Structure 1
Amino acid sequence: MIIIHAGFQVKADQENEFLKEVQSLVEDSRAEEGNISYDLLKDSEKAGSFTMVELWKDMDAVQNHNQAEHFTSFMTKAPQFMAAPADVKLFNAEPIVK
């Protein structure tokens, strides 16, 4: 399983527009083959700070997601909302057998 944490620092005056745009990205991504979960979390202590937490079946699913129209469309619009570049971290998770 692949885990992605994508951190976004959103400009204060762009937060509502960001949330409007990201809503369809979340919905469409959840419907993708190979998606396990796709959630946007808002930092309760740092204004304008969000983290997208994504769980994918495998790297093929991630690559398909990165080429999907809803993802590429959002990424084209994203720079207007951001106060800083996105901070993306990928993790390879393995199940723990007890």
Structure 2
Amino acid sequence: MIVINVFFDVLPECKEEFMTLLDDMIGKSTQEEGNRYYHLLEDLTQKNRYTLIEHWENQDAVNFHNKTSHWIHFDKTVNNFLNDTYEEHHYTEIPF
């Protein structure tokens, strides 16, 4: 499994547009084969900071996702609503 955490610092005046864009992308992404989980979290201590948590079956599913029209549109548009470029971290499970 691949886990991706994406961190956003949203401009206060752009919160509604950000949420609309994100809602569209998540709605389409969760229909993709290989997607296991999408969850959006709001930071309790830093206003307008959000974390998106994604779980994907494998790297092939992530690669497919990154070529979809909804992801490309999101990636080209989202920074218009942010204080700074989003930060993305990729992880894999370590079995115990």
Give the alignment's TM-score, normalised by structure 2. 0.94
What amino acid is the match of 1:54? E
* Partner secondary structure for residue 67 of structure 1: coil
What amino acid is the match of 1:47? K
**Which residue number corresponds to residue 60 of structure 1?**
60
Deviations 1:5-28 (A, max 9, x none): 000111011011100111011111
Q: How does 1:8-19 map to 2 (within 5 A)?
A: 8-19=8-19
* Partner secondary structure for residue 41 of structure 1: strand
* Shift in CA distance, 95/32, structure 1 to aligned 2, threshold 3 Å: farther
> Runs of at least 4 residues of structure 1 off by over 4 A?
none
Kindly indicate whether residue 43 of structure 2 is the aligned counterpart of residue 43 of structure 1.
yes
Deviations 1:33-88 (A, max 9, x none): 10010111111221110111000000000011111111101111111101011111
Question: What is the aligned-residue RMSD (CA, Å)?
Answer: 1.0
Number of equivalences: 96
Give the alignment's TM-score, normalised by structure 1. 0.92
Which consecutive unaligned segments of at least 5 residues does structure 1 have? none
CA-CA distance at 1:94 after TM superposition: 3.9
What amino acid is the match of 1:37? Y
